[in-house]
Chains A and B, each alone.
Chain A
């Protein structure tokens, strides 16, 4: 395909009045968007603002309800991703569209329509990825790779098709800060070559740093077109959310922490499946009154760690995990809950809550053992009134917004369901709370509410363990941060000593003190 080095400012893509309706929801409502050649254009908005729906229409995987798309001045109908690629639009997905059981080269071959031999593709991919500073091994199995490496394959695959517009959907949400820096270099290089980039993100600092223009969406509508370099992070946030977002306030931790409530002594775990991460000798001590954050790039053993701590997977020895001084390594989830622990898994639907059951039923499911006397009458008959009252209490305390008095869990938005699930655990006033990705995919308002609740729980004397990929969140709520990498956990770093750079290096697998080394390798 011919590459045009058009003058900056020439229209490449013009979108007018694009609308998409799902049922009664207008996911995108009359959207206008212009992308010039050689610019990095940011698409900003909260979860559910319509960003993903919009780009899916641009990439041909969703059909618009109404509106027009023009490419280089010509009205076009983008009927499929294949059609988008033929026009010169490439996309790097947020939830990667790679095939785990195929090699990197095979994954790339799939998006090239012709029958180029796999070895030739591998060679091309290797040299192209090197040019753009995205080293990859074409013959490795995707299932074995880290999230950062997978993203490199996606980007390389996209670049091999020589697109003029590259759509990147939240590319940095899975990267360490250092990996993100590398990505920004690549993007700037692409811009210098005259390619355009549509950059979707809710991270305002990186948008301010890189993007030439920004379009802000809220509830499916465009609320502003602006130059992000002229704005502050706060003003951009206001456009996205519609009002000011307060950060959580963190009162100082008590000078002397209380007794140890959660102890982990030498936790190791063999990989359960060929693609899962083994845990390697994890030690941890969590005291009353503190919030400990566990940072790490996704897929470094956080899920396996959570399963071991919550009791979904039991250990060989009881003393590996202690809750309030008692060895619980061989005790199941209910047993651990009875000791005062509470757990919130990462996946809300299907793990944290049963999607097709009502909120009150979901409440009973997680607390039937701990609150047996309250919720269950004689012979195990469900005490509807007591459960209804408790459900109502949680809904009020956490400000859960819903459409029916006691809706099915799946009917709630992600943020509201998460507020309910966390509220359900807090309602028991647990002495140990372990939560995995507390605010993933939750809008800013709800996230602030959840974070504040976690801090308050700790200050009231509980021990709180938060596993998160969102570093800003961890810095906001934690008293100390440890980093999980390849199934091993670093020593917790007090928040006063922690910096983004130090944590980022640990996330990339560097030993503290060997920072320079690893930078060259990466």
Chain B
């Protein structure tokens, strides 16, 4: 395996959890709900994924466990913000804090245990091709899921009636309600989709990326996913671009540190954040397009008058 191929593979594994979590949050925000609990849902997915894989011996069941727990955890957020109409920002922050604490408690006995890794795809002949074989046909299965998810969400949002309905709820919930659209129901579904994605992204970290359980192992990736959605102006393919850029600079700066260029390591560590923000700000220069894509009802509570 060549150096370049190895670097490209690590970039993909660094970008995949961000991409999955951000695509989930994108759908949530397109429906007009701001869920700041991505980090909490991710870490719950991570601890569940690791635990289920360890106890059952099946990494696939681990991934599934992450998805289910992420969705259930987001349901709590949905119930509080959509049914009880609590403040979305405060509830999202609470969800993150709860997730970090709860996962630490649940995962106490997992610390230091070797995990079970989801094996990479291996297709005879194709995966053995030089260079492209590993990159295109030999990655972990969730990598392919993340790309399909991006394409699927882009298609759903902009080419289906259900996607149009979801966007309309995020644009103007009062009008959507007046048209007879079930605003709350759609938001529940969107929130749960976001939770399932965050759970999957978390399980990816503990079952694929580094198959072990460490407390706080999400390390702020949930927050980066949230930022990616905003800077990508709520467009799925831009989220993908942002996630990969972030992954690339993260891996790049690690190599730069290893080379010992004499640049302070703290500066290098901050590069991925800086580069992602700069590039996404540049591509969202078109104010008009940003305006059209921003869900106008984002974060605003909806109470139907009856």
A contact residues vs B (CB 8 Å cutoff): 60-63, 80-85, 93, 96-102, 106, 109-111, 114-115, 141, 143, 273-275
Inter-subunit contact A97/B164 (CB<8 Å): no
The CA-CA distance from A99 to B294 in the complex, in Å, is 12
Inter-subunit contact B180/A115 (CB<8 Å): no
Q: How far is the CB of A119 from chain B (nearest CB, A)?
A: 12
A to B CB contacts below 8 Å, 28 in the list: A61-B178, A61-B305, A62-B305, A80-B180, A81-B177, A93-B178, A97-B179, A99-B171, A99-B172, A101-B167, A101-B171, A101-B293, A101-B294, A102-B164, A102-B171, A110-B176, A110-B179, A110-B181, A111-B179, A111-B180, A115-B160, A115-B161, A141-B292, A273-B287, A274-B287, A274-B291, A274-B292, A275-B291
Return chain A residues, CB-CB under 8 Å to B175. 96-99
CB-defined interface of B281-302 with A at 8 Å, one 1/0 digit per residue? 0000001100111101000000
Inter-subunit contact A100/B178 (CB<8 Å): no
Inter-subunit contact A85/B291 (CB<8 Å): no
CB-defined interface of B211-244 with A at 8 Å, one 1/0 digit per residue? 0000000000000000000000000000000000
> Which B residue's beta carbon lies closest to that of A115?
B161
Inter-subunit contact A109/B180 (CB<8 Å): no
Return chain A residues, CB-CB under 8 Å to B275. none
Return chain B residues, CB-CB under 8 Å to A80. 180
Residue of B164, B176, B292, B305 near A109 (CB, 8 A) is B164
Give 19 A-B pairs besides A110-B165, A141-B292 with Cβ atoms closer than 8 angstroms: A60-B180, A61-B305, A62-B306, A63-B306, A81-B177, A81-B179, A82-B180, A83-B180, A85-B180, A101-B292, A101-B293, A101-B296, A102-B164, A102-B168, A102-B171, A109-B161, A110-B181, A143-B291, A274-B291
> Which B residue's beta carbon lies closest to that of A83?
B180
The CA-CA distance from A97 to B176 in the complex, in Å, is 8
Inter-subunit contact A102/B167 (CB<8 Å): yes
The CA-CA distance from A98 to B180 in the complex, in Å, is 13
Return chain A residues, CB-CB under 8 Å to B180. 60, 80-85, 111
The CA-CA distance from A80 to B178 in the complex, in Å, is 9
Inter-subunit contact A274/B288 (CB<8 Å): yes
Question: How many residue pairs bridge A and B at CB < 8 Å?
Answer: 70
> Which B residue's beta carbon lies closest to that of A106?
B164
Return chain A residues, CB-CB under 8 Å to B287. 273-274
Return chain A residues, CB-CB under 8 Å to B172. 97-100
Interface of A is mostly: loop
Inter-subunit contact A100/B306 (CB<8 Å): no
Q: A109-B161, A110-B165, A274-B288 are in contact. Are A100 and B181 (CB under 8 A)?
A: no
Interface residue? B174 (CB, 8 A) = yes
Chain B 163-203 residues near chain A, CB threshold 8 A:
164-165, 167-168, 171-172, 174-181
Q: A110-B181, A274-B291, A275-B291 are in contact. Are A99 and B168 (CB under 8 A)?
A: yes
Residue of A81, A110, A273 near B164 (CB, 8 A) is A110
Q: How far is the CB of A356 from chain B (nearest CB, A)?
A: 17
Return chain A residues, CB-CB under 8 Å to B164. 102, 106, 109-110
Inter-subunit contact A101/B291 (CB<8 Å): yes
The CA-CA distance from A98 to B294 in the complex, in Å, is 16
Q: How far is the CB of B174 from chain A (nearest CB, A)?
A: 7
Return chain B residues, CB-CB under 8 Å to A102. 164, 167-168, 171
Q: How far is the CB of A92 from chain B (nearest CB, A)?
A: 11
The CA-CA distance from A62 to B161 in the complex, in Å, is 26
Return chain B residues, CB-CB under 8 Å to A114. 161
Return chain B residues, CB-CB under 8 Å to A101. 167, 171, 291-294, 296
The CA-CA distance from A106 to B159 in the complex, in Å, is 11
Q: A109-B164, A110-B168 are in contact. Are A97 and B292 (CB under 8 A)?
A: no
Return chain B residues, CB-CB under 8 Å to A275. 291
The CA-CA distance from A98 to B161 in the complex, in Å, is 16
